[in-house]
Amino acid sequence: MSLSSSLATAMTALRANQAALSIVSSNVGNAQTPGYVARSINQVAESTGDVGSSVRVTGVNRSLDQFVQSQLRSETSGGAYADQMSGVLTQLQSVYGTPGAAGSLETAFSNFTTALQSLSTTSGSASTQISAARSAQSLAQQLNATTQGIQTLRSNMEQDLNISVGQANTAMNQIAQLNTQLQSMSANDPTAANLMDQRDSAITQLSQLMDIRVSTNGSNQATVYTSNGVELVGVQASQLSFNSQGTLNANSLWNSDPTKSSAGTISCKLANGASIDMVASNSFKSGQIAADLTLRDTTLVQAQTQVDQLAAAMASALSDKTTAGAAAPAALAPKAGFDLDLSNMLPGNTVNLTYTDTATNTQHQVSIVRVDDPSVLPLSNATGANPMRIGINFASGMASIVTQLNAALGGANLQFSNPSGSTLRVVDNGASAATVNAASVTKTATSLANGSPQLALFTDGASLYSGAITAGGSQFTGLAGRITVNAAVLSDPSKLLVYNTSPATQAGDTTRSDFLYNQLTSGTFSYSSATGLGTAAAPLKGTLSSYMQQFLSLQSNASTTAIQLQQGQDVVVNTLKQKMQSTSGVNIDAEMANLIALQNSYAANAHVMSVVQSMMNSLLQAQV
């Protein structure tokens, strides 16, 4: 190798050392910068055409472990989902209150039943009447407050979704812009490394909001998809939009049919102009957005259903009277069945029918519901629902009722007729194909003193609660937020005792207060499977207090599980962050060792140049 070649090689080595020192400096300076990926110099040996080789710097490498990065993004989505679920379910427990403490549902219910018991044991003194009425109102107000708390949480989710959609659009636009900047750059370009760090940070932010998949092509372009394949970022960024409905109430429910939906949905306008309903297509399975949707549309809706069921069961337990049907005339033999009086049935009141299919020896229960709004017919039933609900429009009179029932249940070998007035007759067809086991009518008491202990103590605002179903929805929905004590009872608490005026209820007669207390403490009722307890085929049955304890326990367990999941997910995410840091982050010890090696290399190459210069000087002097 000539002296000039040696000098040139040493100079290229010094330039490579300078570039490497710059990278070390960048690494050390950004050791604590979030999202920064450690760099290393990329250099190759080049033939000089003589003996030996020089060195050329070709760019910068990012020390990125893409497998760990992909895992971290996935678990980041799961962590954001778990954090949101845990936080909101913990808030929901605060809405219910601490069991046994003042301001809780259980305490309000217990106080009311205790007041009713005192009303009976004191033979209805004026002070205990007032106390019982106030306790009833406190219970109603606690249900109102619980509904308000649940709907506030749902409204918070609606607001969070609006904010998250804005954040997602910002991240997606940033990724697309960085893609454009990176398109003309080599992957080893030092500037590209900085842009790729920024792009990775934007993708990480997006992964907190939703579960995503990322692919990178040879042109250094990152394409981002949802887990079900919707392209969020390609050459251009898609745009998400959210039609926020603001403050939600119990009737504000999401529906895949936009004309029926009263909660916001997320739409995605793709780069090609097409639009997708991201909620209807189930595009969010993890991340904060998925948690917000789950809470708003499922978890908190079920919580509302649970307190609505408590309010409805409590109101109906005190106001509804079930009357067994009279046996149909023996002259109808071999047909047999019952006669039922349908007079004074309110919308939502029911005819309860039990029959046995003799061919299969299977017993069926049917609940025939008075429905005055034909637009809601037929009523829907869950698979295997027991009892099965059949809605009947009473608006056109008995003849129409009979026709509708024969059309609905004629195939079950049952026959309906109207022998007179408001009497409905139900019998088997006389062919031994079916047996009518029992039939009754459940009606809501409309009078405060009709000789019956039933009392419409709790009302739906100023209206009686009968479970009516209209195009606006079921009276059941949101009842806990509207329930109150009958205004007539609040103004005259003696109504808690006086159940008849002719003859007048005797002083000390506790028939009504005993009935109210027994219904609330030992009456057994069925509860909708929409509460998350029981199934449509085998609904939960039990007392009001046991039902309340079960749904509160269900929510408490859900909160505990969510906290445990969140804690476990935090461990996973933190472990992956540490692994990502160890494989792709800056290791100060390694950088310091590298710095020493570069210093030694720099000094050695500088010494080579010094020796070459000395030798060249000696040659020049020799020629003189």
Measured CA distances, 418 to 206, 422, 441, 442 (Å): 66, 7, 15, 19
DSSP-derived 3-state class of residue 401: helix
162: confidence class by pLDDT, cuts 50, 70, 90:
very high
Rounded Cα gap, residues 151 and 161, in angstroms: 15
Strands 414-417 and 423-428: antiparallel
Beta bridge partners of 46: 54
Residue-level pLDDT at 583: 86
The pTM assigned to this predicted structure is 0.89
- Give 620's pLDDT tier (boundaries 50, 70, 90): confident
Q: Which whole-number Å values give the CA distances from 439 to 283, 325, 394, 405, in the listed order? A: 48, 5, 18, 14
The helix-helix angle for 287-294 and 126-182 (nearest 10°) equals 150
Tokens in use for 438?
């029992």
Segment 20-46 mean pLDDT = 78
Q: Classify residue 140 by burial, with Cβ atoms within 10 Å: 0-12, 13-18, 19+.
A: buried
Of 132-146, 245-259, 527-541, 588-602, least confident by mean pLDDT is 588-602
Q: Are 226 and 210 in contact (CB under 8 A)?
A: yes
Under a CB-based contact definition with an 8 Å cutoff, are residues 350 and 367 in contact?
yes
How far, in Å, CA of 337 to CA of 355, rounded? 10
Which residues, 6+ apart, have CB-to-CB distance to 485 below 8 Å?
133, 136, 137, 140, 457, 458, 459
Mean pLDDT of 448-452: 91
Q: CA nearest 314: which of 447, 93, 505, 142?
A: 142
Give residue 551's pLDDT: 95
Q: Are 295 and 87 in contact (CB under 8 A)?
A: no
- Given pLDDT bands bounded at 50, 70 and 90, which one contains residue 484? very high
Give the pLDDT confidence of 563-587 residue by residue, as tens digits.
999 999 999 999 999 998 888 878 7
- Return the percentage of the chain with pLDDT > 90, whole number: 71
Is 622 or 372 the better-scoring residue by pLDDT?
372
The per-residue pLDDT for range 419-445, each reduced to its tens digit, is: 999 999 999 999 989 999 999 999 999
Please tell me the predicted confidence (pLDDT) of residue 243: 96
Asked if 284 and 211 count as a contact pair (C-beta separation under 8 A), the reply is yes
Q: What pLDDT is attached to residue 219?
A: 81
pLDDT at 50: 59
Q: List strand residue ranges (DSSP E) for 372-523, in order.
A: 388-393, 414-417, 423-428, 434-444, 458-460, 469-470, 473-474, 483-485
> What pLDDT is attached to residue 51?
58
From 56-60, 92-96, 297-301, 417-421, the region with the lowest mean pLDDT: 56-60
pLDDT-based confidence at 619, cuts 50/70/90? confident
Mean pLDDT computed over 600-604: 78
Instruction: Name the nearest CA neighbour of 227 among 237, 208, 212.
Output: 212
